[in-house]
Amino acid sequence: MEDSNFPRIHVGEWAESALDWLTTNAEGFFDAIKTGTAWLVDSLDSVLLAPAPIVVIIIVAALAWLARSWQFAIATAVGFALIASMDQWENAMLTLSLVIIASVVAVAIAVPIGMAAARNDGVSAAVRPLLDFMQTMPAFVYLIPAIIFFSVGTVPGVFATVIFSLPPGVRFTELGIRQVDSETVEAGAAFGATPGQILRGIQLPLATPTIMAGINQVIMLALSMVVIAGIAGADGLGKAVVSSISTLDIPQGVEAGLGVVVLAIFLDRVTAALGKPGDYPSSLYRQIQKRLQRA
């Protein structure tokens, strides 16, 4: 505005210049990521779509039984059978493939960063504003660099999903490790354990429930990006939802939306059942507990 008291700051143009520089100077890097990610997605798609739906339904029902209860196993079987009966099976498996790969990549990045932040206050102070930025940035904005770097398709959907779902994994990992009882950590040091042994044998086992809660949130956020991934051209339920919006196809939109709900409930309940306190005791932790009890 000409009558504004503030000078015009061209932040958007600076961002565009930065993206142009990256696409020009790191083209090989992004091509490698695109090729590797596409191969992973295609391979997992083939694995999930190879068996008959009834075989997959039996497998997921068995997982639900092991993780929760026979009642949840029955509900899971009914839910996945509903997906098949709505003719959304292929879309659901493509979506599940995308969510699994994006979640694994996000966790592989988030957990080490969270561990570093928990053990170093400087890293924590540097990471915290970045995580705030990532969590408050509108999810659709992540599609801009994703499409610029990788064009349209599944790969930009995976990229945007990883970025969007990563912050809870970092935060929960740091929180879980920092909440470990300091007396137990000091006892481990007095026992002669190295910092690495204390991390692996005491802090990570005790922090596992909190870390698993973070992984659960990573998966839920990944599923929430399904529609946005569909906008980027990724196949699956998100693409069906986007298509139903553009064509006002209410039946398709409802059926694809129900498919997302079934997948979300299954993944949420299964991951929430993992990592209960005491599930991952280590030999070092047992020795320290015995020594503390004798003391």
Q: What is the DSSP string of 118-130?
A: HH-HHHHHHHHHH
Torsions phi, psi for 225 (to 5 deg): -90, 5
Q: What is the pLDDT of residue 136?
A: 83
Residue 24 within a domain: yes
For residue 1, pLDDT beyond 70: no
Measured CA to CA, the distance from residue 176 to residue 209 in angstroms comes to 8
Residue 164 within a domain: yes
Q: What is the pLDDT of residue 183?
A: 74
Residue 79 within a domain: no
Lowest-pLDDT range, 4-18, 114-128, 172-186? 4-18
Specify the number of domains making up the chain. 1
What are 242's two structure tokens?
């986007």
Q: What is the domain-level CATH number for residue 249?
A: 1.10.3720.10
Residue 1 within a domain: no
For residue 170, pLDDT beyond 70: yes
Measured CA to CA, the distance from residue 84 to residue 52 in angstroms comes to 10
Measured CA to CA, the distance from residue 259 to residue 286 in angstroms comes to 44
Cα separation values, 205 from 1, 22, 173, 210, Å = 57, 40, 12, 10
Lowest-pLDDT range, 80-84, 169-173, 230-234? 230-234
Q: What is the pLDDT of residue 286?
A: 60
For residues 193 and 256, which has the higher predicted lDDT (pLDDT)? 256
Q: Which domain holds residue 285?
A: 11-50+86-294
Average pLDDT estimate for 224-250: 81
Residue 159 within a domain: yes
Cβ–Cβ < 8 Å for 229, 161: yes
Average pLDDT estimate for 237-248: 83
Residue type, 128: R
Average pLDDT estimate for 237-246: 83
- What pLDDT, in 10s, does the model give residues 14-58? 877 887 887 778 778 888 888 888 888 888 888 888 889 999 999
Residues 240-249: b if buried by 16+ CB within 10 A, e if exposed: bbbebeeeee
Residue 60 within a domain: no
Residue 196 within a domain: yes
Residue 4 within a domain: no
Q: What is the pLDDT of residue 59?
A: 92
The H-assigned helical ranges of 50-194 are 53-67, 70-85, 89-119, 121-136, 143-150, 154-178, 182-190
Q: What is the pLDDT of residue 274?
A: 73
